[in-house]
Amino acid sequence: MNYRHLVYCSIAFAVVTPSLATAQETKQPEQAQTPPKSAEPASEGQNQTPPEYLDNRSTPETLIRSYYNAIDRQEYARAYSYYAPESPPKPFPEFQAGYEHTASVKVLFGKAEGEGAAGSAYWSKPIAIESTSKDGKTEVVNGCYRLRLANPAIQGVPYVPMSILDGTLEKSDKPLEESVPEGCEAP
109 forms bridges with which residues in the sheet?
A: 127
Average pLDDT over residues 112-133: 93
Query: Does the reported pTM lie above 0.95?
Result: no
pLDDT tens-digit series, residues 86-95: 999 999 999 9
Domain 60-178 has CATH 3.50.50.60: no
Q: Where are the domains of the chain?
A: 1-34, 60-178
Q: What is the CA radius of gyration of the chain?
A: 22
pLDDT tens-digit series, residues 12-23: 333 333 333 333
Helix (H, G, I), strand (E, B) or coil at 43: coil
* Measured distance CA(10)–CA(153) in Å, rounded: 58
* Cα separation values, 172 from 122, 139, 140, 159, 179, Å: 26, 8, 5, 37, 7
* Total length of the chain: 187
